Structure 1
Amino acid sequence: MTFPATASTDHELGLGAIRRARELTEPALRDIVDRLGPSLGGVGRYHFGWWSRSSGASGKAIRPTLAVLAAEAVGAEASDAVPAAAAAELVHNFSLIHDDIIDNDELRRGQPAVWKEFGVPAAILIGDALHSEAFGALLNSGRPGAAAAAMRLSTAMREVVVGQVEDIRFTERPWTGEQAVRIAEYQSMAEAKTGALLAFSASAGALLGGADTAVADCFDRLGRHLGLAFQCTDDVLGIWGDPAKTGKPVFGDLREGKRTLPIIAALTAGGSASERLGVLVERGVRTDFELRLAAELVEEAGGREFAEREAARHLAGVDDCLASLAMPAETRACFEDLAQSLIGRSR
């Protein structure tokens, strides 16, 4: 899951934490990619947008930010979290490169995707290299807790891959009936595909900062709640978001036939709007009129309200995790501001 650049500019604490994490992490990422050699490293530099040594990397750096804040929360220096932050970014970008191949997406961050520019074999290989280097970044760091963090990364990547497989399979299932995707199934997939890597980022940052397993587990839960809250919000934006802010067409998820939370909730709600929506999506939503009608029916059946309520519930879960952890007030405020900047975007 890529976090779009839609966070409010009012959230200065969160944005400041993001800038700081990016500044700490990018040099380590550049060194890792450079070690891949001129050919494969060149593909990596292209993907990250490093056209020169002075140009900045693309992306929101949410995962490195969670790692850095978690380390600071347990009393460590921000620099102690850099191996975890770099590992999170490496595996995230590995997944993006391979996802573009799977989805046949030709663009990534406004430029041709790696597979489109260099071919599928090169894209597969740079993705594999980034995945491998992520474990090296942890295990070669010499930090206490590095081995435990690497085990968590292995678990997170298994979840991400399984979640991706389930997401693909959802598109092969009917919209309605006994074989339709259920809310619990979708939420399990979203936690794996989106929440697992955020959970790794926060828990690994804490571990490299010297935290024990119980504290790391709490940061793991925080990351999962944040991932699910984000996914619920993203699903709302995928139908009703402003294209100027999201970079996606209005009604985009309906247009693409994606099984997302508002649609699934609306289809399982019962009632006239739910039934009419089921007939419409089974037939196929194609014209602009049908797209508008489908969006109206999803909202009328309560799908939007359900997704927004779930986002709020998981955001409350983030707050509960923060309340259970001792940390400096400024760090807590950064966590809270970061979460609000990512989630408070659905209206």
Structure 2
Amino acid sequence: MPTPVAPLPLTPSGESLGLHLLESAQAATGPKMRAQCERMPSRMAGLAGYHLGWLDERGGPAQGSMGKAARPALALASTRAAGGSASDGLGPAVAVELVHNFSLVHDDVIDRDELRRHRRALWAVFGLPSALLSGDALLALALRVLSEPTGDPPGRAVSVLCDAVLELVEGEAMDVSFEQRTDVTVAEYTAMAAAKTGALMGCSCALGALAGGADIEQAELLRAFGRHLGVAFQIVDDLLGILGDADATGKPVGGDIAARKKTLPVLAALASSTPQARALARVYASDTHLTGAELRHAAGLVTEAGGVQAARRTVRRELSLAFEVLGEAAATPAGRRDLTALAHVLTQRDH
């Protein structure tokens, strides 16, 4: 995991402020997420309920996880950063989380990942067509939520969200294309991460800020903060795919290497001109199935070739850029504190 950038402030209960903000965002958005999903036609509502954790495979009650609520937390904190109240940002918070889950459902289909949040992925239970349609329904629901009247003109918010979705899809397409190439550069990877992950995190901040009364300049600065944070977050996710514990992540460790994905740690390792880089290149040139032992060996090669260290340096650089633009955003003291705490906790996670 990345070296801690700075200690997190603590709540009176002793928990880090960042974790407290994530839990608060889950509590605030969870009920409205469920209420909105239950307004969908029954088949789509059942599929969404399974993916989001409150239904089991048979449609009965379940206690699954809805996820970290990183994007809702950023939206709510950005609303406060612009001088608004948490209730002002609730609609945008729900909308960005619905879009995030649309992307997760489709991402699992694209990657054929069979696990999501410690249980079988939606497509693995209900099939590919149902999963794709469910993802489409979640996207449509997000647009409806954001179209509901708020303090900010709904058309502007929908436009910001649609732009982010278009960029997110472009980033996913770039990521998929990298699997078929042997000449992917670190710069291309960074552009992909900025689109695939940074776009929606930046959008979360911008929409939250607009809901809190921000002008376009402040909303853009907060969007840039979220975008840099999103790149750092994606790289940490890549590191977890190599170094993480499946019990913590809820996804199979080594899946990115097994799929020959060109993540930043891998690209940095391949560019190192070391014996380990050459051995890793042979692994990536092969299309044979990798055993667990072979995946662990490949992960070791990434570390030994310097890929993990390079990825951690990039995380620190992106955080520095994020904090630089946050300093320019004229955020309220409470909003700046909360966004800083979220940036730290989201880049020092183990799942």
The farther-off stretch of 232-241 and 151-160 is: 232-241
The amino acid of 2:181's aligned partner reads: R
Paired residue for 2:266? 263
- Taking a change above 3 Å as real, the CA distance of residues 302 and 116 of structure 1, as seen in their structure-2 partners, is closer
CA deviation after TM superposition for structure 1 residue 203, in Å: 0.5
Q: Is the partner of 1:237 in helix, strand or coil?
A: helix
Flag the 1:299–1:98 CA change in 2: closer, same or farther, 3 A: closer
Give 1:5's aligned residue: none
Q: Which piece of structure 1 moves more, 157-166 or 241-250?
A: 241-250
| Closer/same/farther in 2, CA of residues 272 and 341 from structure 1, 3 Å limit | same
Residue 54 of structure 1: how far off its partner (Å): 9.8
Q: Is contact 1:199-1:221 (8 Å) kept?
A: yes
Q: Does 1:217 align with 2:220?
A: yes
Aligned with 1:200 (options 195, 203, 214): 203
TM superposition shift of 1:19: 2.0
Unaligned runs of 5+ in 1: 1-7, 175-179
Distance apart, 1:319 and its partner CA: 1.4
Q: Residues 254-277 of structure 1: CA distance to partner in whole angstroms, max 9, x if unpaired?
A: 333221111111212334443343
Distance 2:61 2:153 in 1: 32
Letter of the 1:139 counterpart: S
Return the TM-score normalized by structure 1: 0.87
Give the RMSD, CA atoms, in angstroms.
Answer: 2.6
After superposition, what is the alpha-carbon deviation per residue over 1:210-265, rounded to whole angstroms, capped at 9, x for unaligned? 11111111111111111111122222222223444334555443333221111111
Matches within 5 A, 1:20-35: 20-35=24-39
CA contact (8 A) 2:118 2:249 kept: no
Superposition deviation, residue 164 in structure 1:
1.1
**Among 80, 85, 88, which residue is 2:93 paired with?**
85
Range 207-216 or range 324-333, more displaced: 324-333
In structure 1, what is the equivalent of residue 3 of structure 2?
none
* Equivalent residue number for residue 237 of structure 2: 234
Structure 1 residue identity aligned to 2:270? L
Query: 2:348 is matched with which residue?
Result: 344
Letter in 2 for 1:91: V
1:69 and 2:77 equivalent?
yes
Partner residue of 2:143 out of 129, 135, 141: 135
Alignment coverage as a number of residue pairs: 334
Distance 2:156 2:87 in 1: 18
TM superposition shift of 1:310: 0.2
Q: 1:257 to 1:89 in 2, by over 3 A?
A: same
Three-state SS of the structure 2 residue aligned to 1:195 is helix
- 1:294-323 deviation per Cα after TM superposition (whole angstroms, max 9, x unaligned): 334333332221111000001111211222
Residue 319 of structure 1: aligned partner: 323
Q: Give the aligned residue type for 2:322.
A: V
Counterpart residue type for residue 37 of structure 1? P
Counterpart CA distance in 2 for 1:56 and 1:242 is 19
In terms of mean alpha carbon deviation, does 31-40 or 268-277 score higher? 268-277
Q: Distance in 2 between matches of 1:129 and 1:329?
A: 38
Structure 2 partner of 1:151: 159
Write the deviation string for residues 80-107 of structure 1: whole angstroms up to 9, x where unpaired: 1111111101111111222222222333
Cross-structure match for 1:109: 117
Contact 2:88 2:212 in 1 (8 A): yes
Match of 2:178 in 1: 170
The reply on whether 1:38 has 2:42 as its aligned counterpart is: yes
* SS of structure 2 residue aligned to 1:157: helix
Match of 1:185 in 2: 188
Shift of 1:287: 5.0
For residues 167 and 213 of structure 2, what CA distance do their matches in structure 1 show?
Answer: 25
- TM-fit CA distance, 1:343: 1.2
